[in-house]
Amino acid sequence: MQTPRLEALPPADSVWVEVDTSTQQLTLWRGKQPDWQCLVSTGVAGTGQQEGSGQTPLGWHYIRAAIGGGEPVGTVFRGRRPTGEVFDAELGRDNPERDWILTRILWLCGLERGVNRGGNVDSQRRYIYFHGTPPDKPMGVADSHGCIRLRDDALLKLFDQAPPGTPVWLHD
């Protein structure tokens, strides 16, 4: 693991999330101990902070909001609201152009002014999320529009274990 840019990690007993964009891997930590890992998919355009870039932002963030608790697995979201649809292969075939945001949303907010907070680098205003994706989308390779995609089982686990306020470190 690379050394975080901030002076100190979260407290020894706290939960925090690391996303390594170079390996496309998420690690849920409990203090200094890794608890579990999964593959993710970050921005196909690489990493970067600029609004409109389609890149995954770097640096320290926190989970600002957890959206979709209690909704069925596969729930389709638009504008952070359930559409009433549940994703299936037919819906995917009928709407091949859609960037699917499924199951749950964990909305990120940057903690570093000028890096991922404020101005045209603000991760929250860029709507950067952890979210679900259709089962045919790849994991372990960069393929998203800037968000961090996860499989439903990993997303549900993260949703349950990393509530709003949880620190998140994104790096390459």
Q: Which superfamily, per CATH, for 16-171?
A: L,D-transpeptidase catalytic domain-like (2.40.440.10)
What would the mean pLDDT of 106-134 be, rounded to a whole number? 97
Residue with tokens 């970067």: 48
Taking the mean position of all CA atoms in its chain, how far away is CA 101?
Answer: 11
| Closest among 43, 95, 103, 40 to 77, alpha carbons compared | 103
Confidence class for position 69, pLDDT limits 50, 70, 90: very high
The domain limits of the chain are 16-171
Judge whether residue 8 has pLDDT over 90: no
**Strand duo 102-110 + 59-67: pairing:** antiparallel
Write down the pLDDT at residue 10.
Answer: 66
Rounded to two decimals, what is the model's pTM? 0.93
What would the mean pLDDT of 26-53 be, rounded to a whole number? 96
* SS3 call for 169: strand
Cα separation, 134 vs 60, whole angstroms: 27
Confidence class for position 4, pLDDT limits 50, 70, 90: low
